[in-house]
Structure 1
């Protein structure tokens, strides 16, 4: 090997005993590091420390019967659930199975919680070693987790101090001169995995030393000096926040009636994806009883809404309403005008069965209307998943002839309301929880 070839060494520290609340972790690490036959600690070394010994020293231990309650207390958001297994975001912002509450490497009948503040724990160890030994080392606190789309687990950093958390290469070029536009290397996660290769999961070796990478150690060594918390991806940048079934429930919960929209344009592709979801709804007789008319130009929207307004005013005058009452009602119906995009779902009865009596004919139509409602629900939920607000307004159902004429639709197309679509101008108000029991009858 060339004398200038990059390299590093990593070794585990034997002799660290079982820890208990109040133990001095830094003191125990220092004693283990200078055991006969080991090279001790030097400036530029990185200590890779399993979080469980800190949890024990910091008193983060509970009786096992409290495990589910402990998971609840540590959880801020459910990501996915499969049977009794929960993958959640915990109070540290980490997405982990069971919020990181662990029953391994602890006495029977107890569970371990993650350290209260792993970054602060790393800073305390680093400062204690600098004060006691006069060495400048980086400290990485680790735990174990699985990864989406990959079998197996690996160690990753949950806390760090005095070490480069991430190496931001954006703006550099590769060996071929290509610009790097998205490469941010999670240095502390790589150090965590390197340390775990010698620590292992069951060997009683909770601390490793990495030597030969002094460029990643120091008080000002790169992105994320505030600690490993820097690596937690903000929600706005997270494309994979939920498991599949949880994502469906989240989209359903996000489905609100939105009445105020921004002027931002609506992506027509997002609306077409919502239509594609809509037409998966169940329907009678293997039919496809839905059509969606998309009004993507302002001219088309204004023409339709003006004609509908005129028809509505005529109806209200025929009902004997005062001009003041009519003006008030028309203003309340302006939600469709505030949206930058409109869709008009239509019901078609192609494939319906003819019956000689009114009762069965009415039931036949009701089946098709239910199918149309299911399609519109799919449509609205998918729009919510696209982060688009919507309002399903029934007004086209009261002037179907007008809508058909303005939009040049076939006689057999029945407009089933109109959907206003756009970016919500304000966050939706909190919605009171509705338990299922109030809507269920069991026989």
Structure 2
């Protein structure tokens, strides 16, 4: 049986725009007395990635369109936030109870296009998802390999709600070095029956496990998952976890109301 360990990594201070996030993480690992090992999975909160990549938006500079203003009035939201949501969306899936469910340009179906105002030192600002979370994960993985010679996987996470359950959970929004889905189709269960549909979203499960150690306000945006034997992938992509629109029951239900 596997013994899996989740190690929280505290980062001192806030991440400033244009920070060298890879260097900050390595320094934080050292300060926390954590030495990387081959096969570790580095889990990083999306928010620090976005901060380092300059994805913080000054709301004073956001000019809402007429459409954003009308939607904001109906949904009782800040029209500048609505404008950012629209800018980040590929498609609006549903609007209700002050929430806009969109498909982002990345292919994520989530609330408010991932636009968020929590855990920001600045008032009158909002933070967006990274432009390409997979690329962000690859850069961190490559930096660690170059600096320390360690072969680690990287999972970038964010907090999403779920259409059929209460509460939020952390999910993977970017991956590098790890295949995000473990496929059991065609294999046999413990009674010898062939499995037909089982695919485990291991990247999401890793993200959720790490969040238990990271929290939301403890200054722990990084965690190390150690001991899980994952399937390596040279060119992993979070797109493997996105369900095609034609098979998305949630969106089909919304569009037929």
Secondary structure of residue in 2 paired with 1:71: helix
Q: Where does the alignment leave 5 or more consecutive residues of structure 2 unmatched?
A: 61-79
1:239 to 229, 249, 252: 249
1:47 to 27, 30, 42: 42
Query: Post-superposition, which runs of at least 4 consecutive aligned residues in structure 1 deviate over 6 A?
Result: none
Asked which structure has the greater RCO (Cα within 8 Å, sep 6+), the reply is 2
- Tell whether the 8 Å contact from 1:123 to 1:161 is kept in structure 2 after alignment: yes
- Which structure 2 residues correspond to residues 324-343 of structure 1 after superposition, within 5 A? none
TM-score (norm 1): 0.52
CA offset at residue 218 of structure 1?
3.4
Q: Deviations over 1:420-441 (max 9, x none)?
A: xxxxxxxxxxxxxxxxxxxxxx
Q: What residue in structure 2 maps to residue 216 of structure 1?
A: 230
- Tell whether the 8 Å contact from 2:114 to 2:128 is kept in structure 1 after alignment: yes
TM-score (norm 2): 0.88
Give 1 or 2: higher strand fraction. Answer: 2
Query: Which deviates more, 15-24 or 38-47?
Result: 15-24
Q: How many corresponding residue pairs? A: 237
Partners of 2:236 and 2:222 in 1: CA distance: 22
Q: What residue in structure 2 maps to residue 13 of structure 1?
A: 9
- Which structure 2 residues correspond to residues 373-392 of structure 1 after superposition, within 5 A? none
Larger radius of gyration: 1
The yes-or-no answer on 1:112 pairing with 2:121 is no
Q: Where does the alignment leave 5 or more consecutive residues of structure 1 unmatched?
A: 249-443
CA offset at residue 95 of structure 1?
0.7
Partners of 1:33 and 1:41 in 2: CA distance: 8
Q: What residue in structure 1 maps to residue 186 of structure 2?
A: 171
Q: Kindly tell me: are residues 219 and 232 of structure 1, through their superposed partners in 2, closer, same or farther at Cα, counting changes over 3 Å?
A: closer
Partners of 1:16 and 1:187 in 2: CA distance: 29
* Superposed CA RMSD: 1.5
Secondary structure of residue in 2 paired with 1:146: strand
CA offset at residue 204 of structure 1?
1.2
Secondary structure of residue in 2 paired with 1:240: helix
Q: Kindly tell me: are residues 243 and 102 of structure 1, through their superposed partners in 2, closer, same or farther at Cα, counting changes over 3 Å?
A: farther
1:121 to 136, 142, 145: 136
Q: Deviations over 1:46-90 (max 9, x none)?
A: 011000001111111112353211101011111111143111111
Q: What residue in structure 2 maps to residue 60 of structure 1?
A: 55
Partners of 1:217 and 1:194 in 2: CA distance: 18
CA offset at residue 122 of structure 1?
0.1
